[in-house]
Structure 1
């Protein structure tokens, strides 16, 4: 989710000096014809979208769907999608907080909650049909500051809501976090790694809604703040050698901890090991954000590939929809494939037992969900509803 799908502007870069005469103007003043201008290279889309961030968000969403299809334990080591999405959301939040904080928080909640309510209506009704009786905890289906309740029948659908809950808490805390960050950016950024270490070696949060929220906030706090660091220009002022060395050290520690504690956690999957997730994501995301800050990349070349550029646009304009509905799409892919077994030609020629086939069917259903349900994101953003962004 997904990270925040609202339009955003890239970090400011030095603007050209408009008071300097252009080459054509100089040529004209000397009486010679101006040189024929070369065709400009494709630029980022109008509206200030940064295609580097857009591309990262699209890759993160693809990785999320892949992980929930195949269950690859190594997926988080290749691309820690949740850390990336929190970092992107953090930099956009810092940009938005140039406006009054109350308006920004209200706007973020307005963009998030209606798609969540629309999706939740289907999930809650389905669970009630399958025997679930909600109690007072159903309030978390209205404002998910805690994990919304559910039954085992619907767990695959609602277990992804931890991300929305964590994102919502970061949004609510961001005005205060940004003030603290601006007082001492680097010390605050480094100290953001302390809570998860304390939770691992000292006090452990309880296994309840409060404890889960606290653990997830601690796990991804650094990623959110490194988004602040990018927006505030802190990363640009750091020396490349120091950033790369620190990032590699964090990656090494996170990777080592995950691999060395497989017996304790039963896996090296970062999603199951908060301490390893924190340090691996911190190193990975810092390199991605510093690369953006140091080289000022914007992936404007995407405009040359119309279809790819269009797909990236859809992924970003419907990030919340894709994140919320992808698990339901994967759930529905199973009975859809079961129907294929009743067609002899499909049974003979299609790889119905392959997870890759289920992955493909899942994406077909996701692309059906995008025009069916994605318009809710437009309504939430106070835009004219469209089938595709």
Structure 2
């Protein structure tokens, strides 16, 4: 699980503007401003949540930004020429008897990995860690190191293509069943908390049932619910996948390349409206290539391409995405890819193409993880609880602030702990996430029709 995720506003040729311009209050009431919480002495006058990535959007606050080879050396055959035993089948004269074939050496068993592809599992775990780190520190450069949301959409795309070997309706229903119950369980707490804090929803509350549009919320709870853009985009990709896969199979390479055209059109020809429809359309265009490159991996398209061609095209996409972000800082107010959809689309496209081609061409599976039991176990938990980690990580970071605030009342903690450090907050956030995994993660098991477990 940005698996992960972060966003604030689509500029599309405009300077970032203040939040509300006639849109309903439930969209949130602030964009690009600090949220005053009133606690957290270590953060000055009030706690200012970190920026959230994901496809940027303006003017309303948009949810952020959610599966070896082995070798062995045959044992040397013992030299029995000098000490051959005489037995009934042993030749007694100089004549040579029939040669017996050497016994086949027993193969070294490969480490067990639960039948999953550990390369994909490891990428998803790294993506989730990057999402939490970005939401803690707000690093603008994080997306250029590892575009987590593009990676998570590519992984989801290849798994969706694999699932669509079964009847499409059954697959779509199964995916929705796995996604919605954890979302409902988490959303119950968020909605009740916002109702307690003077939020009164309108008919748009239906998006808290099926998030085909951004669920509404108030300013008090925006840090929790703005990450839902990823679930909304994922849900749309799931619904569209049977059609997308049918189109992709008609002309794989042309369709893959043309999947970047919509985001170019949105940047230079037509800007989607600043509403639920527009934000969903822009997010789909931003990550469409990543989803389809997952199809390309599953369908065996990538394996047929030559390495020089793939490397050159991927590096060109990376270079363009990075250049566009850096060259348009004045326009968007940052070079953060999560704020610049065109740059995000091209940079993520180049990055995930290299990752997926590396997997397809060299057949890497990271089975060596099984030799490091603790690391392998962590990767397993991350993948078995990806939705839980993604949904609850923001709440964990929110709760970390008042918790750290109480540490200042203990003289020993104040003296010896780095209470002012965001790294300390990052650590406390992960402690709370690991508490949430056994407390709430069992909902994922129920949604998948499995026996509930504290840990997968």
- TM normalised by structure 1 equals 0.92
Q: Contact 2:2–2:131 at 8 Å: present in 1 too? A: no
Q: Does 1:92 align with 2:159?
A: yes
What do residues 230-258 of structure 1 show as CA deviations (whole Å, max 9, x unaligned)? 00000000011100000000000000000
CA pair 102-30 structure 1, distance change in 2 beyond 3 A: farther
Task: Give the structure 2 partner of residue 16 of structure 1.
Answer: none
Equivalent residue of 2:271, what SS?
Answer: coil
1:63-78 equivalent positions in 2, closer than 5 A: 63-78=130-145
Task: Give the structure 2 partner of residue 166 of structure 1.
Answer: 233
Equivalent residue of 1:206, what SS?
Answer: coil
Deviation at 1:188, TM superposition (A): 0.3
Equivalent residue of 1:37, what SS?
Answer: coil
CA pair 30-80 structure 1, distance change in 2 beyond 3 A: farther
Given candidates 173, 177, 183, the residue that maps to 2:244 is: 177
Q: Contact 2:3–2:127 at 8 Å: present in 1 too? A: no
Given candidates 307, 329, 334, the residue that maps to 2:374 is: 307
Q: Contact 1:2–1:319 at 8 Å: present in 2 too? A: no
Q: Does 1:39 align with 2:108?
A: yes
Take 2:352 and 2:268, find their aligned partners in 1: how far apart are those partners?
Answer: 24
Deviation at 1:303, TM superposition (A): 0.2
Structure 2, unaligned stretches of length 5 or more? 5-66, 69-73, 76-97
Take 1:372 and 1:362, find their aligned partners in 2: how far apart are those partners?
Answer: 15
Q: Contact 1:2–1:320 at 8 Å: present in 2 too? A: no
1:249-260 equivalent positions in 2, closer than 5 A: 249-260=316-327
Task: Give the structure 1 partner of residue 178 of structure 2.
Answer: 111
Deviation at 1:58, TM superposition (A): 0.1
Structure 1, unaligned stretches of length 5 or more? 5-9, 14-22
1:96-175 equivalent positions in 2, closer than 5 A: 96-175=163-242
Given candidates 322, 331, 341, the residue that maps to 1:264 is: 331
The RMSD of aligned alpha carbons is: 1.8
- TM normalised by structure 2 equals 0.79
Task: Give the structure 2 partner of residue 296 of structure 1.
Answer: 363
Take 1:310 and 1:277, find their aligned partners in 2: how far apart are those partners?
Answer: 32
Deviation at 1:34, TM superposition (A): 2.0
Take 2:312 and 2:2, find their aligned partners in 1: how far apart are those partners?
Answer: 29
Equivalent residue of 2:100, what SS?
Answer: coil
Q: Contact 1:111–1:381 at 8 Å: present in 2 too? A: yes
What do residues 146-189 of structure 1 show as CA deviations (whole Å, max 9, x unaligned)? 00000000000000000000000000000000000000000000
**More helix by proportion, 1 or 2?**
1
Take 2:175 and 2:107, find their aligned partners in 1: how far apart are those partners?
Answer: 42
Deviation at 1:33, TM superposition (A): 5.2
Deviation at 1:41, TM superposition (A): 3.9
Larger Rg: 2
Q: Contact 2:2–2:148 at 8 Å: present in 1 too? A: no
Q: Contact 1:227–1:289 at 8 Å: present in 2 too? A: yes
What do residues 1-50 of structure 1 show as CA deviations (whole Å, max 9, x unaligned)? 4639xxxxx6xx9xxxxxxxxx99xxxx952552543533425x23x310
1:239-258 equivalent positions in 2, closer than 5 A: 239-258=306-325
CA pair 58-30 structure 1, distance change in 2 beyond 3 A: farther
Task: Give the structure 1 partner of residue 125 of structure 2.
Answer: 58
Task: Give the structure 1 partner of residue 395 of structure 2.
Answer: 328
Task: Give the structure 2 partner of residue 346 of structure 1.
Answer: 413
Q: Contact 2:3–2:148 at 8 Å: present in 1 too? A: no
Q: Contact 1:145–1:169 at 8 Å: present in 2 too? A: yes
Take 1:248 and 1:233, find their aligned partners in 2: how far apart are those partners?
Answer: 21
Q: Contact 1:341–1:347 at 8 Å: present in 2 too? A: yes
Task: Give the structure 2 partner of residue 19 of structure 1.
Answer: none
What do residues 52-101 of structure 1 show as CA deviations (whole Å, max 9, x unaligned)? 00000000000000000000000000000000000000000000000000
Task: Give the structure 1 partner of residue 445 of structure 2.
Answer: 378
Take 2:2 and 2:100, find their aligned partners in 1: how far apart are those partners?
Answer: 57
Task: Give the structure 1 partner of residue 280 of structure 2.
Answer: 213
Task: Give the structure 1 partner of residue 3 of structure 2.
Answer: 3
What do residues 291-315 of structure 1 show as CA deviations (whole Å, max 9, x unaligned)? 0000000000000000000000000
| Count of aligned pairs | 369
What do residues 247-274 of structure 1 show as CA deviations (whole Å, max 9, x unaligned)? 0000000000000000000000000000
Q: Contact 1:60–1:81 at 8 Å: present in 2 too? A: yes
